[in-house]
Amino acid sequence: MSLQQDVMTAMKTAMKAKDSVALESLRAMKSVLLMAQTESGAKTELTEEEEIKIVQKLVKQRKDSAAIYKEQGREDLAAPELAQAEVIAQFLPEQMSEDDIAKVVESVIAKTGAEGMKDMGKVMGMVSSQLAGKADGKTISTIVKSKLA
């Protein structure tokens, strides 16, 4: 089943449960998916990789907004953003633990012979492509920096 069908099913469930936070999140997600699909060509389906990137972007936007609200002392606005991020994140593949990410980073460093921060871009590119959807870019970046330092 495609992601769009999963979102529609979840929307129906949210409507029946009168879950306004989930419904708002799912509608936003559906809208972004439809816009991306029309931009890529009227009748083509989005690939799974494209769908994952879109969902990751939506989650990141919500988390970034929540962080800004918290900095400004607006917990009342941060809470709904985090709740929406959780709803949207349900459509991502299971996230890897930091230990598992570190193992992948170490293997890529060994494979490429990377030494120091000058090779960070090369390592980040390979690790990011291997872990697409399974790990957050910020987490990957932190681990790569610690291994190359």
72-83 residue pLDDT tens? 999 999 999 999
Name the token pair of 47.
């690939």
pLDDT score of 42: 58
Q: pLDDT per residue over 40-62, tens digit each?
A: 775 678 888 888 889 989 999 99
**Residue 125's pLDDT band (cuts 50, 70, 90):** confident
Q: Are 111 and 70 a contacting pair, CB within 8 Å?
A: no
Architecture of the CATH domain 98-148: Orthogonal Bundle (1.10)
Asked whether the predicted pLDDT for residue 89 surpasses 60, the reply is yes
pTM for the whole thing?
Answer: 0.76
Gyration radius (Cα) of the chain, Å: 18
Please give the residue that has the higher pLDDT: either 96 or 83: 83
Q: Other C-beta atoms within 10 Å of 69: how many?
A: 18
The CATH number for 3-90, chosen from 3.30.930.10, 1.10.600.10, 3.90.1300.10, 1.10.1510.10, is: 1.10.1510.10
Rounded to 5°, angle at Cα 65 from 84 and 17: 15
Q: Give me the amino acid identity at 121.
A: G
Domain ranges in the chain with CATH number 1.10.10.410: 98-148
